[in-house]
Chain A
């Protein structure tokens, strides 16, 4: 079974631009979560989608948004990019939204904002 895939793997953007990152979960998985990883703040939860509905959102400004499609694929969008948005963005999927179902992580998208 294919793992979680994220595209693109690397991205360079300029301040003020917007960016869309994509995550394809493992086949059959309905829950997709997004995390931001930076050297200063560590790993922080962005949001989680389950069956096309956002179930939880982390403490990030409204510039960060996401959505999930009927096939469980998810996208996250960051508008009006700031230098501080440079980070590794990780996506994780799990079979269902509750219980001890393991979250499988993708390889991440490295975003650099210049």
Chain B
């Protein structure tokens, strides 16, 4: 079993839709949970950074962490074509043990 599981998609939605991206994990030592966005032929860029369980909102993006279920989510409201990218979940216990999910490729159609 992989430490971090993420459905690679691809996921295609119409513009304006609410997008839900998810990851599950097995290592209970993970404390920090991140979402990275990667455009084609570019490096990943940090989108959301959360510590422990709870919700964090930033504009159209909301990250949720449920440590009891070992489940994290990223919601994108009012999705735009510019949101089309691969979204990678990532997590760490804070000791350079970063693990990434496989990434979900998202396409938002105008």
A, B assembled together: no
- Chain B residues with CB under 8 Å of chain A are none
- Chain A residues with CB under 8 Å of chain B are none
